[in-house]
């Protein structure tokens, strides 16, 4: 059996997530599931829950890596919950668990995951029209090392396609 690819979707939690972010995240999760790829999220609300919902509705596999030590705190769409008890340090686990990353909006927690993904040279796609961290860092490198360019994309379908192309190389 061949290992299935794993894509991390990151973005605003429920406090910063707008209906536009939710729609994009749902569509992204749905596209990930339809491709036969495993969805990884931080397992909580906002973009994480919407992406999980989209993947769940397409019969995909959803892994939630949560910062708390209580698995019951994960959103209801997670098939597998990994309670870390690590707080924000879990952002490094989500990044390292993924073969590629898709960014939708996002604040400082999202930026932490982007940085962790970047230093580990994971391919990163950012939905440019989702604003915030995704829009701010789309189509550029984070620093002088030029590890991976954060590629700006226009749609969830384009994001999934780009990441799968990169991880299949």
Chain segment 38-54, per-residue pLDDT in tens: 999 999 999 999 999 99
CA 17 remoteness from chain centre = 14
Residue ranges making up the domain that contains 114: 6-167
Q: How many domains does the chain have?
A: 1
pLDDT digits (tens, 9 = 90+) for 118-146: 999 999 999 999 999 999 999 999 999 99
Cα–Cα distance measured from residue 43 to residue 64, given in angstroms and rounded to the nearest whole number: 4
pLDDT attached to residue 162: 98
CATH of residue 87: 3.40.50.450
In a domain, 79, yes or no: yes
Question: What does the CA dihedral 167, 142, 117, 53 come to, rounded to 10 degrees?
Answer: -80
CA dist 156 → 1, 19, 46, 61 (Å) = 28, 15, 16, 18
Residue with tokens 């999934």: 160
pLDDT digits (tens, 9 = 90+) for 84-114: 999 999 999 999 999 999 999 999 999 999 9
In a domain, 1, yes or no: no
In a domain, 163, yes or no: yes
In a domain, 99, yes or no: yes
Interior/surface letters 42-72, b for 16+ CB within 10 angstroms, e for the rest: bbbbbbbbbbbbbbbeeebbbbbbbbbeeee
Question: Helix, strand or coil for residue 87?
Answer: helix
In a domain, 53, yes or no: yes
In a domain, 105, yes or no: yes
Cα–Cα distance measured from residue 62 to residue 65, given in angstroms and rounded to the nearest whole number: 10
In a domain, 58, yes or no: yes
Residue 102 phi, psi dihedral angles, 5° rounding? -120, 130
Say yes or no to pLDDT of 14 above 90: yes
Say yes or no to pLDDT of 1 above 90: no
Average the pLDDT over 5-10 and give the result. 98
Round the average pLDDT of the chain to a whole number and report it.
Answer: 97
CA nearest 111: which of 96, 100, 99, 95?
95
């Amino acid at each position: 059996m061949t290992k299935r690819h794993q894509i991390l979707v990151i973005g605003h939690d429920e406090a910063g997530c707008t209906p536009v972010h939710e729609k994009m995240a749902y569509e992204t999760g749905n596209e990930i599931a339809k491709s036969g790829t495993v969805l990884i999220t931080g397992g909580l609300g906002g973009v994480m829950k919407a992406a999980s919902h989209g993947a769940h509705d397409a019969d995909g596999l959803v892994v939630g890596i949560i910062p708390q030590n209580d698995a019951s705190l994960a959103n209801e769409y997670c098939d597998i919950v990994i309670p870390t008890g690590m707080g924000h340090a879990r952002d490094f686990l989500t990044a390292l668990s993924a073969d590629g990353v898709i960014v939708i909006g996002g604040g400082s927690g999202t930026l932490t995951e982007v940085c962790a993904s970047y230093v580990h040279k994971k391919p990163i796609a950012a939905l440019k029209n989702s604003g915030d961290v995704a829009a701010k860092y789309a189509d550029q490198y984070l620093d002088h090392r030029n590890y991976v360019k954060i590629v700006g994309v226009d749609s969830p379908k384009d994001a999934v396609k780009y990441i799968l192309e990169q991880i299949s190389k």
